[in-house]
């Protein structure tokens, strides 16, 4: 009986959807200015970093890929956070920010 339910579930499940494409605009500037902004405005400090690859799509095809450092800033007292991409040329972009940060 369980095999039959699994087969029915798989046969009626929707096919994997293509990535949804949407345009966004990010605030970008000199890395030091961005960091000073997150510290002065929100009291956020770097919590961790990693190497990231922001990927840009055009008609569901990879258009460009650039290595960058992803730096996650957080204020553990107010729970605000900012996700920043820092590029090799000294520029950076705030990719996302928000509130309600808590350990997972």
Instruction: For 58-71, write each residue's pLDDT tens digit.
Output: 555 555 567 788 99
User: Considering the domain boundaries, does residue 11 fall inside one?
Assistant: no
**Helices then strands, each counted (H, E), the chain:** 2, 7
- Residue 92: CB atoms within 10 Å: 23
Whether 6 shows a pLDDT value over 50: the answer reads no
Mean pLDDT of the chain: 77
Per-residue pLDDT, 103: 80
Domain that holds residue 44: 21-98
User: Considering the domain boundaries, does residue 62 fall inside one?
Assistant: yes
Distance of alpha carbon 19 from alpha carbon 29, whole angstroms: 28
Which pTM does this prediction carry?
A: 0.68
Distance of alpha carbon 18 from alpha carbon 6, whole angstroms: 24
Q: What's the total number of domains in the chain? A: 1
In 3D space, the residue among 88, 30, 82 whose CA is nearest the CA of residue 54 turns out to be 88
Per-residue pLDDT, 2: 47
């Amino acid at each position: 009986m369980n095999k039959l339910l699994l087969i029915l579930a798989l046969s009626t499940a929707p096919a994997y959807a293509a990535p949804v494409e949407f345009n966004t605009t990010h605030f970008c500037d000199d890395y030091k200015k961005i960091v000073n902004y997150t510290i002065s405005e929100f009291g956020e400090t770097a919590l961790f970093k990693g190497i990231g690859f922001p990927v840009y799509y055009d008609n569901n095809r990879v258009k460009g890929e650039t290595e960058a450092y992803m730096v996650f800033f957080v204020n553990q007292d107010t729970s605000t956070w900012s996700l920043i991409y820092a590029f090799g040329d000294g520029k950076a972009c705030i990719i996302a920010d928000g509130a309600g940060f808590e350990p997972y």
